[in-house]
Amino acid sequence: DGGITQSPKYLFRKEGQNVTLSCEQNLNHDAMYWYRQDPGQGLRLIYYSQIVNDFQKGDIAEGYSVSREKKESFPLTVTSAQKNPTAFYLCATKHRGVQETQYFGPGTRLLVL
Amino acid sequence: EDKVVQSPLSLVVHEGDTVTLNCSYEVTNFRSLLWYKQEKKAPTFLFMLTSSGIEKKSGRLSSILDKKELFSILNITATQTGDSAVYLCAVEDTGSARQLTFGSGTQLTVLP
């Protein structure tokens, strides 16, 4: 079964904790992206990676960290420095090519207790 | 800074109605405009538009881009309750990462 998987589906975090959201893909796509979506708002880019062992900050990278050790995996860590982490987090991937678009995983909903 | 504005923010119609969703943008280096449908979870891709005046069509959905006036519309004819969703518009830049900038979406509710 091909596609993009994100886990967990729901995640609860206590204040001061770091948590890591998983994103795995078996589409052999080169680029991977992390977005945050708040109620009534569009998606905002947190980090992206175009190649293994390389990644760049997006528009709202503060309080987040990522790694890209394997092509298939792009985990996102929400650190305690992120003061308002409650949101819906979406991972996306894209194959290299002019006409290719980004495809999204099912998302992880993070709630801070 | 790239900017995408969608209108209306929300829309309630009855089955069978036709709706038009709007998307205007300001992008320094435009490559394409994309429409996505989001039903509670992951956005699903609808259309990618790169050229002005060429309508893209898929069933009851169609979309067109005006690069001179910097806007796009998404039309849905003969709406069904299954069309209820948030419709997101995004613009893609020409950078190597081809980043997307999203609008805040239009919440469409189709009543039976």
Q: Phi/psi of residue B81, each to 5°? A: -60, -30
- Which residues of chain B are within 8 Å of residue A102 when distances are taken between CB atoms? 45, 100
Q: What tens digit of pLDDT does each residue of B2-11 get?
A: 899 999 999 9
Mean pLDDT across B33-39: 95
Give residue A99's pLDDT.
67
> Of B32, B22, B20, nearest to B60 (Cα)?
B20
- Distance from the Cα of B103 to chain A's closest Cα (Å) equals 5
- Beta carbons of B36 and B90 less than 8 angstroms apart: yes
Mean pLDDT across B66-94: 95
Mean pLDDT across B73-98: 92
Q: What tens digit of pLDDT does each residue of A56-99 get?
A: 999 999 999 999 999 999 999 999 888 889 999 999 999 877 66
- What percentage of chain B has pLDDT greater than the value 90? 79
- Which residues of chain A are within 8 Å of residue B4 when distances are taken between CB atoms? 42
* Bridge partner residues of A110 (DSSP): A11, A87
Q: What tens digit of pLDDT does each residue of A10-68 get?
A: 999 888 889 999 999 999 999 999 999 998 888 999 999 999 999 999 999 999 999 99
pLDDT at A100 over 80: no
Q: What tens digit of pLDDT does each residue of B94-112 get?
A: 876 778 899 999 999 999 9
- Assess A31–B contact: CB distance below 8 Å, yes or no: yes
How high is the mean pLDDT of chain B?
A: 93
Question: What value, to the nearest 5°, has the Cα angle with vertex B106 and ends A95 and A21?
Answer: 45
